[in-house]
Amino acid sequence: MWRIGEYELYLFNDASAWVDPGGMFGLVPRVLWSRYYAVDERQLMNTANHTLLIRGGGRNILVDTGFGNCLSQTQRKRRSITHFDGTQVGLAALGIAADDIDLVVNTHLHDDHCTGNFRLDANGERQPAFPNARYVAQRREYEEACAPNERTRATYLPGNYQPLYESGQLQLLDGDSEVAPGIQALVTPGHTPAHMSLRISSQGEQAAFLCDLASLAIHFERLAWMSAYDVEPLLTLETKRRWQPWALETNALLFFPHDAKIPAGRLIQVEHGRPRVVAVD
């Protein structure tokens, strides 16, 4: 648990998966990324799938929902997922019921970040995972996700969000928005055209759930390093360029959604070198 002013922050690993590093590093050569991240005998890299709980001001706010319990055994095997449903397990450990979540922020609508919007009940039927929560996502993200193209249709699955919009539980944001006092959902385009990162400001302290603006800590250190899944990689680079000075100046606590090695850290300026993320326990 970390504290930022009045807010308590809890990071959950919703799922662990072994993935092809090519997806995480795109054009970055293996000889470079392998200095920082290891692979197993299958040449796969261990990744996390983090969600964030923000508690304070009488609110329970969940940022992203991961996969939840909605993947079949076959789907988990295909994705080499070795641990799943960590968000619900983490909430239960804190004594927080699904009914206690007030707000769910979908940073974007890729399936690894929002399949957990729903939950399979005892009869195998999908139900909203957080029945009392207001869900929010960017309007443009929702529109893109409802009309996927050949590149995006494998990860934009309308069943993860359309029913929530049709029922009125999902509300669409038009640009940067304050979703709670001191908590801003800011558009950070590149990974998707209307991807969001969440910034938390309270009592002079700062934190940010960067989400896939920087899937891994090394992505935030090195502007040119990013995942192969970014639909507008040059825009990702420019967005990170704008965010780096803020992170340095504020000593912000940063969360990286898929980094199993450095899930949380701070950006520091190394003398005569590029900025570097140092892990924070």
State the number of CA atoms in the 13 A half-sphere of 51 facing the CB. 31
Per-residue burial over 220-250, b = 16 or more CB atoms within 10 Å of its CB, e = otherwise: bbbbebbbebbbebebbbebbeebbeebeeb
CA–chain centroid gap for 144, Å, is 18
DSSP reduced 3-state for 81: strand
The CATH number covering residue 217 comes to 3.60.15.10
Domain extent for 175: 2-279
Report whether 9 contacts 207 (CB < 8 A): yes
Q: What is the pLDDT of residues 174-227, one digit of tens each?
A: 999 999 999 999 999 999 999 999 999 999 999 999 999 999 999 999 999 999
Amino acid at 121: D
Q: What DSSP assignment string belongs to 133-175?
A: PEEEEEHHHHHHHHS--TTTTTT--GGGTHHHHHHT-EEEE-S
From 67, 5, 3, 14, select the one nearest 263 (Cα to Cα). Answer: 14
From 82, 89, 123, 88, select the one nearest 104 (Cα to Cα). Answer: 88
CA 270 to each of CA 63, 221, 266, 273, 274: distance values in angstroms, whole numbers, following the listed order = 31, 11, 12, 5, 6
Length of the chain: 281
Specify the pTM: 0.96
With a CB cutoff of 8 Å and minimum separation 6, the contacts of 142 are 109, 161, 165, 170, 172
Question: Which pLDDT value is given to residue 100?
Answer: 98
* Residues of the chain under the 70 pLDDT cut: none
Number of domains the chain contains: 1
Neighbours of 270 (CB within 10 A): 10
Q: What DSSP assignment string belongs to 87-132?
A: HHHHHHHTT--GGG--EEE-S---HHHHGGGEEE-TTS-EEESSTT
Instruction: Give the CA-trace dihedral at 32, 34, 36, 40, to 10 degrees.
Output: 170
Question: Which pLDDT value is given to residue 177?
Answer: 98
Question: Which pLDDT value is given to residue 48?
Answer: 98
The phi, psi pair for 258, rounded to 5°, reads: -115, 10
Question: Which pLDDT value is given to residue 216?
Answer: 99
From 166, 236, 150, select the one nearest 195 (Cα to Cα). Answer: 236
With a CB cutoff of 8 Å and minimum separation 6, the contacts of 89 are 12
Question: Which pLDDT value is given to residue 273?
Answer: 78
Q: What DSSP assignment string belongs to 45-76?
A: EEE--EEEEEEETTEEEEE--BSTT-S-HHHH
